[in-house]
Structure 1
Amino acid sequence: MMKFFAALLCVFSGLAHAQPALLTDLALPYLASAPAQTPSGSAETPLVIFLHGYGSDERDLFDIKEDLPADYTYLSVRAPLDVDGGGYKWFSQDTDAADYEGVTRDVDASTALLTQFIEQASKKYGAKPDKVVLIGFSQGAMMSYQIGLQHPELVRGIAPLSGKILSALKARLKTDDFKGLKVFIGHGTADTRVAYTGATDAKGVLDNLNLAPEFHAYPGLGHSINGSEISDLNAWLKSTLGSEAR
C-alpha cells in the first residue's frame, strides 16, 4: 500500500516499479497498462482512466493500479497545461473566486480534449462505455465531474477524490438521463487545499439529480489519499465493473 501513497506525497520521486513509456497517439499523452492475456483489450475488459491533480503528471496516480483489479486496463493521462516550476494542470485557478474555482475557458478546453481522449481510448482498447471509469484526484476529480455530468454516455462511472463540482458546471446542470452513472466520492475531512465541503456539496447536487453517490469521508486526512480510501475504491470498482478475484 505504501508505494502508491509515497508517490502521491512526492510525485517526482523514484517509483517502486519502472513506468511504461509515455504514449502520444491520442489527444493527450498517457501511460498504459493492459492485462497480459488481452494486450489490446476487449469489449468486456474494464478501462480505468486516472486524472491527476494540479502540479503533478501522469505518473502520480498510476501505481494505485497495483491495489486495484488485475484484469482491468489502466491509463493515466497528462493534463494539457504547464505549471510554472514543473508539472501540469487541467485549468488555471480563478483567483477572483472566494473558493477553489477554475477559469471557465481552461476548464471547457480541457473538457473537450478529455472527451476526445476518452472516445479515442475506448476505441483503441475496445472498451464499451459501460466498462469505462474515471478516477480523478483534486483538479482531476473536478474534471471527472465535468465528463460524468455532461457526457455520461462516455462512462459507466466516475470516482472524484478530494474534489468538487465547479460552479460553472453547477449552473449548467439540469435533471436529465445520466445513463445509470455510478459515482464514488472520497474526501479527507482535514483537507485544506480543496475543502471537505466540496464533497458534501457535490453529494447534495448528485442526490438532487437522483444519482445516489457512494460517499466516503476520511477523518483527519488532508489533501491526499490513504489506504482505506484505496480499499473502498477497489470494492466500488469491482461492484461497478466486475472483476476476477485479486
Structure 2
Amino acid sequence: MTAKKLDGPSHGPQAGGKPCHLVILLHGYGADGNDLIGLAPVLAPLMPDVVFHSPNAPYPCEGNPMGFQWFGISRLDPAVAAAGVRSAAPFVDRFLDETMAQYGLDESKTVLIGFSQGTMMALHVGLRRAKPLAGIVGFSGMLAGPETLEAEIRSKPPVLLVHGDSDEMLPAVLTQRAAQTLNENGVQVGVHIAPGVGHGIDQTGLSHCARFVLEAFKLQVPKP
C-alpha cells in the first residue's frame, strides 16, 4: 500500500529563485501545517535560500476535529507511541523523498523540525533513513520506542532537543531521556531546557533552533 500523499503550506525561499536548502516542519497532535509554518517567517531572514514545508498529518484528529494527528494517543502509553510512529513513518518518508526531488536536493541539504508528536515522528524517521539528514530539531517531544533504536538506527545526523521545564503535557524529563538514548547510540545531541516555558516554543528556544539549522547547513551564523 502506498502512503497517502501529504500536503500543507510552504514558505520561501526569501531570496526567491531555486532553494538551496529544505526545512520540513512536523506539527503536533491536533494542530496542522499552518501551526508550525509560523516559524518560517522568523527563520527565513537568517537563511534566505531555504524553503520551508509544513505538511498536515495524515489523519483527522480524534481529540480536535479541526486538526490532524500522526497517530492516536492514549495517555502517553509507550507501546501506543511506538506503534504510532512506525505506522505513520511511511507518510513522512514519502513526503521527504518527493519534496527533496522537487527541488533537486538531498538529505545533506534537509533539516527536519518537529513539535511534540511531530518530534516523535522526526526522530523516528530521521534516524532510520539510509543517508543522514543535515540535522533534526525536536521541540517538546520524546523518543518513541527507545528500546528498538539500537537495532534500527541507520544514520546519525546531529540532533537538537528543546523543552520547557514547565511543560504540563510532556514533561521535560522525556527530552533528557531521549538525549541519553541518542548519546548511547552515537548521535551528537544538544539539549536546551527552557526555564518557565510550558508546552510551546519561546524566543530563546527558537534562537537555539536557528543557530543549529544554520550550522547544520554550513551557513553563516549572524553575529549577536
Counterparts of 1:138 and 1:34 in 2: how far apart (Å)? 24
SS at match of 1:77: coil
Report the counterpart of residue 110 of structure 1 in structure 2. Answer: 88
Q: Is the 8 A contact 1:94 1:100 kept in 2?
A: no
The superposition leaves residues 56-89 of structure 1 with CA deviations (integer Å, 9 ceiling, x where unpaired) of 0010011211221222111111000101432001
Where does 1:6-85 land on structure 2 (aligned, <5 Å)?
A: 27-35=5-13, 37=15, 39-41=17-19, 45-68=20-43, 69-84=47-62, 85=65
Name the amino acid aligned to 1:77.
P
SS at match of 2:33: coil
Residues 171 and 33 of structure 1: CA distance in aligned 2, closer, same or farther (over 3 Å): same
Report the counterpart of residue 23 of structure 1 in structure 2. Answer: none
- The more displaced of 68-77 and 135-144 is 68-77
Counterparts of 1:147 and 1:154 in 2: how far apart (Å)? 11
Counterparts of 2:80 and 2:104 in 1: how far apart (Å)? 35
Aligned residue pairs total: 214
Identical counterparts, % of pairs: 26
TM-score if structure 1 supplies the norm length?
A: 0.79
Of 72, 78, 87, the residue aligned with 2:67 is: 87
Of 149, 173, 181, the residue aligned with 2:127 is: 149
Residues 165 and 245 of structure 1: CA distance in aligned 2, closer, same or farther (over 3 Å): closer
The superposition leaves residues 81-111 of structure 1 with CA deviations (integer Å, 9 ceiling, x where unpaired) of 10143200101113483x695261x432310
Counterparts of 2:94 and 2:31 in 1: how far apart (Å)? 21
Counterparts of 2:155 and 2:28 in 1: how far apart (Å)? 27
How far residue 177 of structure 1 moved from its aligned partner, in angstroms, is 7.0
Residues 245 and 220 of structure 1: CA distance in aligned 2, closer, same or farther (over 3 Å): closer
How far residue 172 of structure 1 moved from its aligned partner, in angstroms, is 1.8
Counterparts of 1:159 and 1:96 in 2: how far apart (Å)? 21
Report the counterpart of residue 9 of structure 1 in structure 2. Answer: none
Report the counterpart of residue 181 of structure 2 in structure 1. Answer: 205
Residues 206 and 154 of structure 1: CA distance in aligned 2, closer, same or farther (over 3 Å): closer
SS at match of 2:142: coil
How far residue 126 of structure 1 moved from its aligned partner, in angstroms, is 1.5
How far residue 36 of structure 1 moved from its aligned partner, in angstroms, is 5.4
Q: Is the 8 A contact 2:215 2:221 kept in 1?
A: no
Q: Which runs of 5+ in 1 are unaligned?
A: 1-25
The superposition leaves residues 211-234 of structure 1 with CA deviations (integer Å, 9 ceiling, x where unpaired) of 120110101111000001111111
Counterparts of 2:80 and 2:58 in 1: how far apart (Å)? 18
Q: Which runs of 5+ in 2 are unaligned?
A: none
